[in-house]
Each structure stands twice: as structure tokens, then as C-alpha cells.
């Protein structure tokens, strides 16, 4: 029976003022390639309470649709209790990020992420200023 491999890496994603969305699929696949894992699971988590991870078809129309949907759910032009305490104007950023979530788990098969033809992994900055987002990656497999 093959030994289980654990591999750890970080992706640094430069993101503009939110909502900004960046495809990190190739970065993840490069990490998987270096790990030697053929089959297993990729776990990724964005560091920070105003960032999120998800999968979409990374094309301009869907990217804009996702931005619009996020803004409809948690618009920036309404009052947030967070801003009463901190006065930083990013209450919406925290809510948006929490609704999408900071992490994702994906299957690794044949040394690559097992994704649909039109499915990419994206990092999202919801904050009202640009951010360098760290995405912590943990791979487990054989």
C-alpha cells in the first residue's frame, strides 16, 4: 500500500478593491504537480475575514453575474453594525465573504484537480481596498 503524502503550500493572490475575482486553478495544479500526489484531496483556505474561495466558470459574463449577485445579497450601500464599531466602511465585505466561505475541498485525480470542463477555482477579495491574499493549501493523498 502506498504511503500517504501530506504537502503544504501558499498561493499569493494580488487582488484589487472588491469585488475582485482571480482564477487560481493553474496555481493549485502546479502545487499538486510538485507534490507527487496522484489521488487525494486539495484543501485551500483564504486567510482573512474579507476573502473567499469558490468555483465558477471563469469567463467575463459569469464573473460579472457573480459580482452582481453578491452585491444584491450584501450591498455596500446599507448600514452594517460592524461599521458602527469600526467606521471602516467594510461591513458588507465581511458579510459577503462569510456567505461564500473561506475554504474549499476538491478531489485530486491523476495528479490534477478533478474539475468540470468549465469549472475553475477562484479567490475573491470583498474588501474596500486591494489586498494580497494568502491562500493556504494542504494536499493529502497517494
Per-domain residue ranges of the chain: 5-141
> What is the per-residue pLDDT for 2?
84
> What is the per-residue pLDDT for 118?
97
> What is the per-residue pLDDT for 86?
92
Helix ranges (DSSP H) in 8-124? 25-35, 60-73, 81-86, 91-100
CATH number, domain 5-141, options 2.60.120.460, 3.20.20.80, 2.30.33.40, 1.10.3720.10: 2.60.120.460
Asked whether the bond before 19 is cis by omega within 30 degrees of 0, the reply is yes
**9: buried, middle or exposed (CB in 10 Å: 19+, 13-18, 0-12)?**
middle
One digit per residue, the tens of pLDDT, for the chain of length 142 reads 789 999 999 999 999 999 999 999 999 999 999 999 999 999 999 999 999 999 999 999 999 999 999 999 999 999 999 998 999 999 999 999 999 999 999 999 999 999 999 999 999 999 999 999 999 999 999 9
Report the alpha-carbon distance of residue 137 to residue 125 in Å, rounded.
Answer: 17
> What is the per-residue pLDDT for 54?
98
| Structure-derived torsion over alpha carbons of residues 106, 8, 19, 117, reported in degrees to the nearest 10 | -30
Amino acid at each position: 500500500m502506498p504511503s500517504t503524502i501530506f504537502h503544504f503550500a501558499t498561493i499569493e493572490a494580488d487582488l484589487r478593491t472588491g469585488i475582485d475575482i482571480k482564477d487560481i486553478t493553474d496555481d493549485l495544479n502546479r502545487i499538486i504537480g510538485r507534490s507527487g500526489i496522484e489521488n487525494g484531496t486539495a484543501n485551500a483556505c483564504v486567510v482573512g475575514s474579507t476573502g473567499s474561495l469558490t468555483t465558477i466558470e471563469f469567463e467575463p459574463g459569469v464573473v460579472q453575474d457573480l459580482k452582481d449577485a453578491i452585491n444584491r445579497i450584501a450591498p455596500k450601500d446599507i448600514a452594517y453594525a460592524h461599521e458602527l464599531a469600526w467606521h471602516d466602511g467594510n461591513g458588507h465585505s465581511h458579510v459577503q465573504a462569510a456567505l461564500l466561505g473561506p475554504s474549499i475541498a476538491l478531489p485530486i485525480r491523476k495528479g490534477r484537480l478533478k474539475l468540470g470542463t468549465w469549472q475553475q477555482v477562484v479567490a475573491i477579495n470583498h474588501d474596500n481596498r486591494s489586498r494580497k491574499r494568502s491562500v493556504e493549501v494542504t494536499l493529502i493523498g497517494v
